[in-house]
Structure 1
Amino acid sequence: MNKVILLDKRPLGKPVINNFKFIEEKNPVAADGQVLLKTLYVSVDPYLRGRMSNVKSYVPSFKLNEPIQSGIIAEVIESRNPVYKVGDFVSARLDWKELQVSDGKDLIKVDGNAVNLSAYLGILGMTGLTAYLGLTEIAKPKAGETLVVSGAAGAVGSIVGQIGKILGCRVIGIGKVN
Protein backbone atom coordinates (compact mmCIF):
# COMPACT_ATOMS: atom_id res chain seq x y z
CA MET A 1 0.00 0.00 0.00
CA ASN A 2 1.09 3.54 -0.79
CA LYS A 3 1.60 5.96 2.12
CA VAL A 4 0.24 9.52 1.69
CA ILE A 5 0.25 12.63 3.91
CA LEU A 6 -2.80 14.90 3.64
CA LEU A 7 -3.57 18.29 5.18
CA ASP A 8 -6.47 17.41 7.48
CA LYS A 9 -6.98 20.68 9.43
CA ARG A 10 -5.54 24.16 9.00
CA PRO A 11 -3.00 24.90 11.75
CA LEU A 12 -3.54 27.65 14.28
CA GLY A 13 0.02 28.74 15.00
CA LYS A 14 2.70 26.09 14.73
CA PRO A 15 1.58 22.95 12.84
CA VAL A 16 1.14 19.83 14.96
CA ILE A 17 0.72 16.18 14.03
CA ASN A 18 -3.09 16.46 14.32
CA ASN A 19 -3.15 18.88 11.36
CA PHE A 20 -2.20 15.98 9.09
CA LYS A 21 -3.83 12.72 8.09
CA PHE A 22 -1.73 9.68 7.21
CA ILE A 23 -3.49 7.33 4.83
CA GLU A 24 -2.70 4.37 2.64
CA GLU A 25 -3.97 3.96 -0.89
CA LYS A 26 -3.55 1.39 -3.62
CA ASN A 27 -0.11 1.50 -5.27
CA PRO A 28 -0.20 3.49 -8.53
CA VAL A 29 0.69 1.91 -11.87
CA ALA A 30 2.47 3.72 -14.72
CA ALA A 31 0.51 3.95 -17.96
CA ASP A 32 1.97 4.59 -21.43
CA GLY A 33 4.06 7.78 -21.35
CA GLN A 34 4.33 7.78 -17.57
CA VAL A 35 6.94 6.94 -14.95
CA LEU A 36 6.46 5.47 -11.49
CA LEU A 37 8.40 7.43 -8.89
CA LYS A 38 9.55 6.47 -5.40
CA THR A 39 10.03 9.43 -3.06
CA LEU A 40 13.51 9.60 -1.52
CA TYR A 41 13.69 13.14 -0.05
CA VAL A 42 10.98 15.67 0.80
CA SER A 43 11.70 19.37 1.24
CA VAL A 44 9.94 20.89 4.24
CA ASP A 45 10.35 24.64 3.67
CA PRO A 46 9.02 27.59 5.70
CA TYR A 47 6.74 28.76 2.86
CA LEU A 48 4.68 25.58 3.30
CA ARG A 49 3.27 26.98 6.55
CA GLY A 50 1.70 29.85 4.61
CA ARG A 51 0.16 27.43 2.13
CA MET A 52 -1.50 25.59 5.03
CA SER A 53 -3.52 28.74 5.81
CA ASN A 54 -6.53 29.71 3.76
CA VAL A 55 -5.35 33.22 2.86
CA LYS A 56 -4.59 34.90 -0.46
CA SER A 57 -0.92 34.60 -1.31
CA TYR A 58 1.50 34.33 -4.22
CA VAL A 59 0.85 30.58 -4.24
CA PRO A 60 -2.51 28.84 -3.69
CA SER A 61 -3.38 27.37 -0.31
CA PHE A 62 -3.28 23.63 0.13
CA LYS A 63 -6.72 22.05 -0.07
CA LEU A 64 -7.94 20.10 2.92
CA ASN A 65 -7.90 16.31 2.58
CA GLU A 66 -5.47 16.46 -0.33
CA PRO A 67 -1.76 15.64 -0.30
CA ILE A 68 0.74 18.30 0.72
CA GLN A 69 3.10 19.21 -2.14
CA SER A 70 6.70 20.42 -2.10
CA GLY A 71 10.06 19.82 -3.66
CA ILE A 72 10.81 16.12 -3.84
CA ILE A 73 13.69 13.99 -5.03
CA ALA A 74 12.45 10.69 -6.41
CA GLU A 75 13.80 7.63 -8.18
CA VAL A 76 12.22 6.26 -11.35
CA ILE A 77 11.32 2.68 -10.46
CA GLU A 78 9.28 1.93 -13.59
CA SER A 79 9.30 3.77 -16.90
CA ARG A 80 6.90 3.75 -19.80
CA ASN A 81 8.29 7.11 -20.95
CA PRO A 82 11.21 7.15 -23.44
CA VAL A 83 12.88 10.14 -21.72
CA TYR A 84 13.37 8.32 -18.39
CA LYS A 85 14.86 4.98 -17.49
CA VAL A 86 14.64 2.92 -14.31
CA GLY A 87 17.22 4.22 -11.86
CA ASP A 88 17.04 7.88 -12.98
CA PHE A 89 16.73 10.44 -10.20
CA VAL A 90 14.43 13.43 -10.62
CA SER A 91 13.48 16.61 -8.82
CA ALA A 92 10.01 18.17 -8.98
CA ARG A 93 7.18 19.66 -7.00
CA LEU A 94 5.22 16.52 -6.18
CA ASP A 95 2.70 15.16 -3.70
CA TRP A 96 3.80 13.83 -0.33
CA LYS A 97 3.35 10.22 -1.39
CA GLU A 98 5.69 7.28 -1.16
CA LEU A 99 4.88 6.31 -4.77
CA GLN A 100 3.31 8.36 -7.57
CA VAL A 101 3.09 8.51 -11.34
CA SER A 102 4.14 11.39 -13.57
CA ASP A 103 3.96 12.12 -17.28
CA GLY A 104 7.51 13.45 -16.94
CA LYS A 105 6.78 17.00 -18.15
CA ASP A 106 7.74 18.78 -14.92
CA LEU A 107 10.54 16.44 -13.86
CA ILE A 108 14.17 17.57 -13.83
CA LYS A 109 16.80 14.84 -14.00
CA VAL A 110 19.46 15.12 -11.29
CA ASP A 111 22.80 13.37 -10.98
CA GLY A 112 22.92 11.01 -8.04
CA ASN A 113 26.65 10.52 -8.44
CA ALA A 114 27.75 14.18 -8.45
CA VAL A 115 26.50 15.14 -4.98
CA ASN A 116 24.23 13.86 -2.24
CA LEU A 117 20.72 13.88 -3.73
CA SER A 118 19.36 16.01 -0.87
CA ALA A 119 21.52 18.93 -2.13
CA TYR A 120 19.04 19.34 -4.99
CA LEU A 121 16.46 20.45 -2.41
CA GLY A 122 18.83 23.00 -0.86
CA ILE A 123 21.96 24.56 -2.28
CA LEU A 124 21.32 23.14 -5.79
CA GLY A 125 17.55 23.66 -5.62
CA MET A 126 15.08 26.48 -5.08
CA THR A 127 16.92 27.77 -1.99
CA GLY A 128 20.29 28.04 -3.71
CA LEU A 129 18.87 29.44 -6.94
CA THR A 130 16.88 32.06 -5.05
CA ALA A 131 20.02 33.14 -3.19
CA TYR A 132 22.26 33.12 -6.24
CA LEU A 133 19.92 34.86 -8.68
CA GLY A 134 18.64 37.37 -6.14
CA LEU A 135 22.18 38.38 -5.26
CA THR A 136 23.87 38.26 -8.67
CA GLU A 137 20.99 39.40 -10.92
CA ILE A 138 19.16 41.87 -8.66
CA ALA A 139 21.54 43.16 -5.97
CA LYS A 140 24.69 42.82 -8.15
CA PRO A 141 27.24 43.56 -5.39
CA LYS A 142 30.82 44.33 -6.31
CA ALA A 143 34.00 43.09 -4.60
CA GLY A 144 34.91 45.33 -1.67
CA GLU A 145 31.31 46.47 -1.03
CA THR A 146 29.51 45.74 2.22
CA LEU A 147 26.59 43.34 1.90
CA VAL A 148 24.01 43.30 4.69
CA VAL A 149 21.90 40.15 4.79
CA SER A 150 18.85 40.74 6.97
CA GLY A 151 17.73 37.10 7.02
CA ALA A 152 21.17 35.56 7.42
CA ALA A 153 19.95 32.83 9.78
CA GLY A 154 17.50 31.48 7.21
CA ALA A 155 18.10 29.02 4.40
CA VAL A 156 18.34 31.57 1.57
CA GLY A 157 20.07 34.24 3.64
CA SER A 158 22.80 31.91 4.83
CA ILE A 159 23.62 31.05 1.22
CA VAL A 160 23.49 34.73 0.18
CA GLY A 161 26.13 35.46 2.82
CA GLN A 162 28.40 32.70 1.54
CA ILE A 163 28.05 33.79 -2.08
CA GLY A 164 28.70 37.39 -1.01
CA LYS A 165 31.99 36.30 0.60
CA ILE A 166 32.96 34.38 -2.55
CA LEU A 167 32.29 37.55 -4.57
CA GLY A 168 34.68 39.49 -2.33
CA CYS A 169 32.13 41.43 -0.29
CA ARG A 170 32.31 42.28 3.39
CA VAL A 171 29.22 40.47 4.68
CA ILE A 172 27.19 41.48 7.72
CA GLY A 173 24.54 38.96 8.67
CA ILE A 174 21.47 39.77 10.74
CA GLY A 175 19.23 37.00 11.91
CA LYS A 176 17.83 35.10 14.81
CA VAL A 177 18.55 31.43 15.32
CA ASN A 178 15.85 29.60 17.26
Structure 2
Amino acid sequence: MLFASAGLVGAAGAGCGQQVAGQPSSAATTHSASSTAPTTAPSSSQTTSGTREWSGPQMCDLVTAAEAQQLGGSPAGRASFSTATADPQCSWSKDTVLILDYGKGFQSKNAKTGAGITLTPMSVAGLSAVQSLKKSSITLCQVIVDISDSSTMSFAVSVHDSGEGKYEPCDVATRLANIVIPKIKG
Protein backbone atom coordinates (compact mmCIF):
# COMPACT_ATOMS: atom_id res chain seq x y z
CA MET A 1 0.00 0.00 0.00
CA LEU A 2 1.48 3.39 -0.90
CA PHE A 3 1.38 6.19 1.64
CA ALA A 4 -0.56 9.28 0.61
CA SER A 5 0.71 12.43 2.29
CA ALA A 6 -2.75 13.98 2.64
CA GLY A 7 -5.62 13.02 4.86
CA LEU A 8 -3.78 12.16 8.05
CA VAL A 9 -5.95 12.01 11.14
CA GLY A 10 -6.05 14.77 13.76
CA ALA A 11 -2.73 16.13 14.98
CA ALA A 12 -0.50 14.08 12.68
CA GLY A 13 -1.14 16.48 9.82
CA ALA A 14 -0.25 15.93 6.22
CA GLY A 15 2.32 16.56 3.57
CA CYS A 16 5.60 15.55 5.11
CA GLY A 17 8.26 17.85 3.81
CA GLN A 18 5.88 20.27 2.13
CA GLN A 19 6.40 23.88 3.12
CA VAL A 20 3.56 25.66 4.86
CA ALA A 21 2.90 29.31 4.03
CA GLY A 22 4.39 31.53 6.71
CA GLN A 23 6.86 28.87 7.86
CA PRO A 24 10.66 29.09 7.38
CA SER A 25 11.92 27.82 4.05
CA SER A 26 14.19 25.34 5.83
CA ALA A 27 11.09 23.49 7.04
CA ALA A 28 12.15 20.17 5.50
CA THR A 29 15.50 19.24 6.94
CA THR A 30 16.99 15.78 7.20
CA HIS A 31 18.44 14.85 10.57
CA SER A 32 20.57 11.83 11.26
CA ALA A 33 19.36 10.17 14.42
CA SER A 34 21.99 9.70 17.07
CA SER A 35 22.95 6.27 18.30
CA THR A 36 22.62 7.35 21.92
CA ALA A 37 19.54 8.44 23.83
CA PRO A 38 18.86 12.17 23.49
CA THR A 39 18.67 14.59 26.38
CA THR A 40 15.25 14.46 27.96
CA ALA A 41 12.94 17.20 29.12
CA PRO A 42 12.00 17.57 32.79
CA SER A 43 8.73 15.95 33.75
CA SER A 44 5.98 15.67 36.29
CA SER A 45 4.27 12.46 37.33
CA GLN A 46 1.29 12.79 34.97
CA THR A 47 2.44 15.01 32.11
CA THR A 48 5.69 16.21 30.69
CA SER A 49 6.87 19.77 31.13
CA GLY A 50 3.86 21.85 30.13
CA THR A 51 6.01 24.74 28.94
CA ARG A 52 8.22 22.76 26.56
CA GLU A 53 7.56 23.22 22.87
CA TRP A 54 9.07 20.89 20.30
CA SER A 55 10.51 21.72 16.89
CA GLY A 56 10.76 19.21 14.05
CA PRO A 57 14.55 18.81 14.44
CA GLN A 58 14.16 18.25 18.21
CA MET A 59 11.57 15.56 17.53
CA CYS A 60 13.87 13.91 15.00
CA ASP A 61 16.48 13.64 17.76
CA LEU A 62 14.05 11.68 19.98
CA VAL A 63 14.34 8.57 17.78
CA THR A 64 17.69 6.90 17.12
CA ALA A 65 18.58 5.49 13.70
CA ALA A 66 18.36 1.95 15.12
CA GLU A 67 14.92 2.61 16.65
CA ALA A 68 13.56 4.06 13.39
CA GLN A 69 14.91 1.14 11.37
CA GLN A 70 13.43 -1.44 13.80
CA LEU A 71 10.04 0.13 13.08
CA GLY A 72 10.52 0.07 9.30
CA GLY A 73 11.56 3.70 8.92
CA SER A 74 14.63 5.28 7.37
CA PRO A 75 17.67 5.88 9.60
CA ALA A 76 17.42 9.67 9.28
CA GLY A 77 14.35 11.68 10.18
CA ARG A 78 13.07 14.58 8.08
CA ALA A 79 11.87 17.67 9.96
CA SER A 80 8.94 19.53 8.43
CA PHE A 81 5.60 21.12 9.22
CA SER A 82 2.15 19.63 8.76
CA THR A 83 0.32 21.16 5.81
CA ALA A 84 -2.97 20.51 7.62
CA THR A 85 -2.13 22.06 11.01
CA ALA A 86 1.29 23.77 10.59
CA ASP A 87 2.48 21.69 13.56
CA PRO A 88 6.18 20.80 13.61
CA GLN A 89 6.86 17.16 12.85
CA CYS A 90 9.51 14.64 11.93
CA SER A 91 9.09 11.68 9.60
CA TRP A 92 11.04 8.57 8.66
CA SER A 93 10.11 6.64 5.52
CA LYS A 94 11.23 3.29 4.15
CA ASP A 95 8.99 0.21 4.60
CA THR A 96 6.78 2.26 6.90
CA VAL A 97 6.09 5.96 7.23
CA LEU A 98 6.59 7.10 10.83
CA ILE A 99 5.41 10.61 11.72
CA LEU A 100 6.06 12.24 15.08
CA ASP A 101 4.01 15.43 15.48
CA TYR A 102 3.81 18.05 18.26
CA GLY A 103 0.41 19.72 18.60
CA LYS A 104 -0.49 22.75 20.74
CA GLY A 105 -4.03 23.50 21.86
CA PHE A 106 -5.19 19.92 21.33
CA GLN A 107 -5.98 16.94 23.57
CA SER A 108 -6.38 13.28 22.68
CA LYS A 109 -10.05 13.34 23.74
CA ASN A 110 -10.65 15.68 20.77
CA ALA A 111 -9.25 13.27 18.17
CA LYS A 112 -10.94 13.41 14.79
CA THR A 113 -13.89 11.05 14.36
CA GLY A 114 -15.84 10.03 11.31
CA ALA A 115 -16.47 7.29 8.79
CA GLY A 116 -13.78 4.62 8.84
CA ILE A 117 -12.13 5.96 12.02
CA THR A 118 -12.01 3.87 15.20
CA LEU A 119 -10.89 5.55 18.45
CA THR A 120 -9.60 3.48 21.36
CA PRO A 121 -8.64 5.12 24.69
CA MET A 122 -5.28 3.96 26.04
CA SER A 123 -2.33 5.00 28.18
CA VAL A 124 1.32 5.45 27.22
CA ALA A 125 3.87 5.55 30.05
CA GLY A 126 1.11 6.67 32.43
CA LEU A 127 -0.18 9.47 30.19
CA SER A 128 -3.68 9.64 28.68
CA ALA A 129 -3.77 8.73 25.02
CA VAL A 130 -6.05 7.55 22.23
CA GLN A 131 -5.37 5.24 19.32
CA SER A 132 -6.99 6.40 16.10
CA LEU A 133 -7.24 3.84 13.30
CA LYS A 134 -8.38 5.15 9.93
CA LYS A 135 -9.11 2.58 7.27
CA SER A 136 -9.60 3.86 3.75
CA SER A 137 -7.49 3.43 0.64
CA ILE A 138 -4.58 3.98 3.04
CA THR A 139 -4.63 2.48 6.53
CA LEU A 140 -3.24 4.93 9.06
CA CYS A 141 -2.86 4.35 12.77
CA GLN A 142 -2.07 7.16 15.12
CA VAL A 143 -1.41 7.21 18.86
CA ILE A 144 -2.11 10.68 20.29
CA VAL A 145 -0.60 11.23 23.75
CA ASP A 146 -1.46 14.14 26.07
CA ILE A 147 1.94 15.50 27.13
CA SER A 148 0.48 18.52 28.95
CA ASP A 149 -2.92 20.05 29.61
CA SER A 150 -2.80 21.77 26.23
CA SER A 151 -0.46 19.79 23.96
CA THR A 152 0.00 16.35 22.46
CA MET A 153 2.61 14.28 20.77
CA SER A 154 1.20 12.17 17.98
CA PHE A 155 2.73 9.02 16.49
CA ALA A 156 1.28 8.17 13.08
CA VAL A 157 2.18 5.11 11.02
CA SER A 158 1.28 3.87 7.56
CA VAL A 159 2.85 0.96 5.69
CA HIS A 160 4.39 1.11 2.20
CA ASP A 161 3.99 -1.83 -0.19
CA SER A 162 7.50 -2.98 0.81
CA GLY A 163 6.38 -3.27 4.44
CA GLU A 164 3.07 -5.09 3.86
CA GLY A 165 2.96 -8.28 5.93
CA LYS A 166 5.99 -7.18 7.99
CA TYR A 167 4.46 -4.29 9.93
CA GLU A 168 1.05 -3.58 11.46
CA PRO A 169 0.42 0.19 11.71
CA CYS A 170 -1.14 0.25 15.23
CA ASP A 171 1.55 -2.02 16.67
CA VAL A 172 4.28 0.21 15.21
CA ALA A 173 2.58 3.45 16.33
CA THR A 174 2.25 2.10 19.88
CA ARG A 175 5.87 0.93 19.92
CA LEU A 176 7.03 4.34 18.65
CA ALA A 177 5.03 6.14 21.35
CA ASN A 178 6.49 3.83 24.00
CA ILE A 179 10.01 4.63 22.76
CA VAL A 180 9.59 8.42 22.76
CA ILE A 181 7.28 9.27 25.68
CA PRO A 182 9.59 7.89 28.40
CA LYS A 183 12.42 10.01 26.94
CA ILE A 184 10.44 13.23 27.26
CA LYS A 185 9.00 12.32 30.66
CA GLY A 186 12.52 11.89 32.04
Same fold (TM over 0.5): no
* Higher RCO (Cα < 8 Å, 6 or more apart): 2
Relative to the length of structure 1, the TM-score reads 0.23
Whichever of the two has the greater Rg, that structure is 1
Relative to the length of structure 2, the TM-score reads 0.22
